Amino acid sequence: MGHELEYHWTLYVTRNKKKSSQDRSLKAWEERLKLITTFKTAEDFWHVYNNLKVPIELYGRGDYLLFREGVQPEWEDPKNAEGGSWTYRTDYPEKINEQWLYAQLALIGFSFEELMEHVCGLEMSVRNKRFRVSLWIDTTEESVALSIGNKFKEVLGTEVTMEFKKHDINPTQEPLYKI
């Protein structure tokens, strides 16, 4: 039977897009997105985790997206539409595998406690040996966002700097919060 998780989680990966493609439409995104599995127990998580490449092994371009079952890893999903994400970026791969593991364990292990209802999912993006870890939440409300962000920062390590941005197609928008 296993150790049932508080929430069920769905793991997606993205297929590499052609470098020449500038198509950023929802349709193009959905064509690249591939559902791997949904897991409900701690044992199922470890089975999946132990059979995937760690971030440092994702050469070039690739994404892992771990989202609460029923929430699509898209800004347009109703659960994500009014929210944003805490993002940590690094060009230094020394700790990224460990940080990705700890972020996943925090997510599935209910580490955000009473704020867990606001947590939608987690994203790991690799672009030419640059790494981005983002925690998606369903709100931009300052006290909730900062509480979740501080817990996420603790999970990743105190030396990280993170920014919170509202989900928006404009990549140049200024962060709402920094910690």
Asked if residue 124 lies in contact with residue 100, where contact means CB atoms within 8 angstroms, the answer is: yes
- No. of H helices and E strands in the chain? 4, 8
In sequence order, what are the beta bridge partners of 77? Answer: none
pLDDT tens-place string over residues 23-45 = 556 566 677 899 999 999 999 99
The boundaries of the domain holding residue 137 are: 4-178
Predicted confidence at residue 13, as pLDDT, reads 94
Predicted confidence at residue 23, as pLDDT, reads 55
In sequence order, what are the beta bridge partners of 176? Answer: none
- What are the residue ranges in the chain where pLDDT is below 50? 20
Half-sphere exposure in the Cβ direction for 139 (13 Å, CA): 14
CATH code of residue 79: 3.30.760.10
Q: How much is the pTM?
A: 0.90
Predicted confidence at residue 112, as pLDDT, reads 95
CA distance 65 to 164: 18
Predicted confidence at residue 27, as pLDDT, reads 67
Predicted confidence at residue 105, as pLDDT, reads 97
- Number of domains the chain contains: 1
